[in-house]
Amino acid sequence: MILGIDLGTTFCAVATTEPDGRARVLPNALGEVTTPSCVYFESASDAVVGALAKSSAAHDPDNAVTLIKRRMGTEYPLEFHGVAHTPESVSGVLLRSLVADARVALRAPGDERARAVITVPAYFGLREREATQQAALLAGIEVLELVSEPVAAALHYGITDGTSRCVLVYDLGGGTFDCTVLRVGPDGVHVVATDGDSQLGGADIDQRVTDLMLSALDDATPPEVDPREDEGLVQQVLATAEAAKRALTSRESHAVTLWYGGASTTVALDRACLNELTEDLVQRTLVIVDRLLATAGPQGRVSEVMLVGGSSRMPAVAEALHVRLGLPPRLVDPELAVALGAAVRAEALARVSDPPTTATSSGLTSGRHAVSVLPRSVGVLVRDSTDSAGLREFVHHALSRNTPLPASATVPFATILDRQRRVRIQIFEQAGAVPSEEPSHNRRVLDGELTGLSELRAGSRIDITLWIGADGRLAVTAREPRGGRSLELEAYIDGVIDAKLGEQLATGAGGLTIRH
């Protein structure tokens, strides 16, 4: 099975390609083209995924997981019915369910392996990408590539027709926001620059509407009753708020009636009210768009705007972009564009011997390729030798954000002490909106030690090489040039499961029964 998987924050979708090269979305077991990104653990050995899991969360929220994509790449331990889980293992359950549904839709044999392109937000850093890779491994998927969502969407929109132009992809999904400038030409798709916010999306819009509804219900109930203390009710109102938001994309007004504690209230919503509730969120996206275009510079003069992600259906989004950029945005299958483009990419990669650069199916024709960029600056934590107290540390960014991938950089450093036998290497990644050398403005992604050094004098040179592949995954090597010896670096990615825990999670996941 060759699949394109959009592992979304709030909804997932799976697609494949027909023999003629056209992509199509595969329905899940319920016949739906999208699956809610929700997992409900009924017991230690049984899990429910999708719509039923979402409804189960309303009466038993403690055993349900939503928005897990926002936790990818973080140390976020979970436990359900006495069994330990991580963001990777929960995402692995989601992926297992998606592949099982695809197997049924394609009538594929049970032992046929799944090969897939899995999409990630363009602004996902090293930890998030590595965590996504681990989730796929737990699900038994062979990952052909982790491709950025804007590139996948661009393939679906059909912008690889050889016409040279510059495109802005505005991707407001359920839990993350990305904006990317793509340069399109006869040789393929090149990412010029990318920016975003991994904690901004449709879920935040839903929360605003939910808060409004709960406030109205609170006013209607006795003073001693607090609707917000009933977690099950909160989940029900959240689902109602999401439905109301969707309704207001196609109509001017929508009313809902809520009941609780013997009281009821009707909340009348209109599009103007929704716009007022979410105006600051839309403005946050425009600030990021402005910053992106400034970073892209002259080569990022946009002539086309594409809207991706279900939340981009809000009329206020297209209106705000039209006013800001003077271009009418295109909106085509925003919930499915990423999965469909991923399927095109997957088919191309699965049919060639050199996956990163050559494709043979529609979307990426022979000789064309997709080039992404590093979303965040990456560097090494360094002790400042000019500090008389010997305490100051800073991050030397060896690879700057928006560097085309794959990329590598070798930087010379020096040992600190005489007869030093080992060196601690800590790799940091830009955490804020703009690069900064302050350690607190970065986040550690890798920590390891170079061991077995000769008893070198202080100031002896050690070359550190950072290499980041086209899929955004990191490799680090070191070399002591005087003796010509290569040094082995044993390290792990912070916030991502190690091999031992991975084995434990894989064993547990293998015995987990998943249903819809």
Tell me if 285 sits within 8 A of 349, measured CB to CB.
no
Give per-residue pLDDT as tens, 117-139: 999 998 888 889 999 999 999 99
Q: How far is CA 442 from CA 238, 353, 396, 432, in A?
A: 34, 38, 11, 7
The pLDDT of residue 50 = 94
* Domain boundaries for CATH 3.30.420.40 within the chain: 2-200+282-372
pLDDT confidence bin for 116, thresholds 50/70/90? very high
DSSP H stretches of helix in 297-406: 315-325, 337-350
The pLDDT of residue 490 = 59
Q: How far is CA 196 from CA 12, 191, 290, 296, 351, in A?
A: 20, 14, 11, 14, 33
- Please say if the pLDDT value at position 363 is more than 80: no
The pLDDT of residue 67 = 92
Assign 3-class secondary structure to 13-81.
EEEEECCCCCEEECCCCCCCCCEECCEEECCCCEEEECHHHHHHHHHCHHHEECCHHHHCCCCCCEEEC
The pLDDT of residue 158 = 72
Give per-residue pLDDT as tens, 220-229: 988 888 899 9
How far, rounded to the nearest angstrom, does the alpha carbon of residue 60 sit from its chain's CA centroid? 27
- Please say if the pLDDT value at position 259 is more than 50: yes
Averaged pLDDT for residues 136-153:
91
- Please say if the pLDDT value at position 214 is more than 50: yes
Strand runs labelled E in 400-497: 407-414, 423-430, 442-450, 461-468, 474-480, 485-487, 489-493
Share of the chain above pLDDT 70, in %: 90
More confident position, 514 or 496: 514
* Domain boundaries for CATH 3.90.640.10 within the chain: 202-275
CA pair distance 394, 381, nearest whole angstrom: 6
Tell me if 379 sits within 8 A of 127, measured CB to CB.
no
- Tell me if residue 503 falls in helix, strand or coil: helix
The pLDDT of residue 449 = 83
Give per-residue pLDDT as tens, 343-357: 999 998 888 644 444
Peptide bond preceding 298: is omega within 30 degrees of 0, i.e. cis? Answer: no
Lookup: tokens for 211:
């808060």
- Please say if the pLDDT value at position 361 is more than 60: no
Give per-residue pLDDT as tens, 367-419: 346 778 899 999 999 988 777 777 889 999 999 999 998 999 999 999 888 88
Query: Which residues, 6+ apart, have CB-to-CB distance to 80 below 8 Å?
Result: 41, 44, 63
Strand runs labelled E in 186-329: 188-197, 253-260, 263-270, 304-308
pLDDT confidence bin for 510, thresholds 50/70/90? low
* Domain boundaries for CATH 2.60.34.10 within the chain: 378-469+473-495
Q: Which residue has the tokens 């275009």?
A: 293
pLDDT confidence bin for 231, thresholds 50/70/90? confident
Q: Which residues pair with 259 in a beta bridge?
A: 264
Work out the widest C-alpha separation in the chain, in whole angstroms.
Answer: 81
Which range (36-40, 195-199, 283-287) has the least confidence? 195-199
Give per-residue pLDDT as tens, 283-302: 999 999 999 999 999 877 89
Q: Which residue has the tokens 């039923």?
A: 52
The pLDDT of residue 162 = 65
Assign 3-class secondary structure to 387-402.
CCCCCCEEEEEEECCC
- Please say if the pLDDT value at position 230 is more than 70: yes
Count Cα atoms within 13 angstroms, Cβ side, for 381: 22
Share of the chain above pLDDT 90, in %: 57
The pLDDT of residue 15 = 98
- Please say if the pLDDT value at position 160 is more than 90: no
Give per-residue pLDDT as tens, 82-93: 999 999 999 999
CATH architecture for the domain at 2-200+282-372: 2-Layer Sandwich (3.30)
- Selection from 29, 36, 30 nearest residue 12 by Cα: 36
CATH architecture for the domain at 378-469+473-495: Sandwich (2.60)
Domain 202-275 listed as CATH 3.90.640.10? yes
Query: What is the phi/psi pair of residue 282, to 5°?
Result: -65, -40
- Tell me if residue 129 falls in helix, strand or coil: helix
pLDDT confidence bin for 359, thresholds 50/70/90? very low
Averaged pLDDT for residues 246-271:
92
How far, rounded to the nearest angstrom, does the alpha carbon of residue 470 sit from its chain's CA centroid? 16
Q: Which residue has the tokens 């297992």?
A: 96
R_g over Cα of the chain: 24
Give per-residue pLDDT as tens, 423-481: 888 999 998 888 999 999 999 988 888 877 777 788 889 899 999 988 778 888 888 78
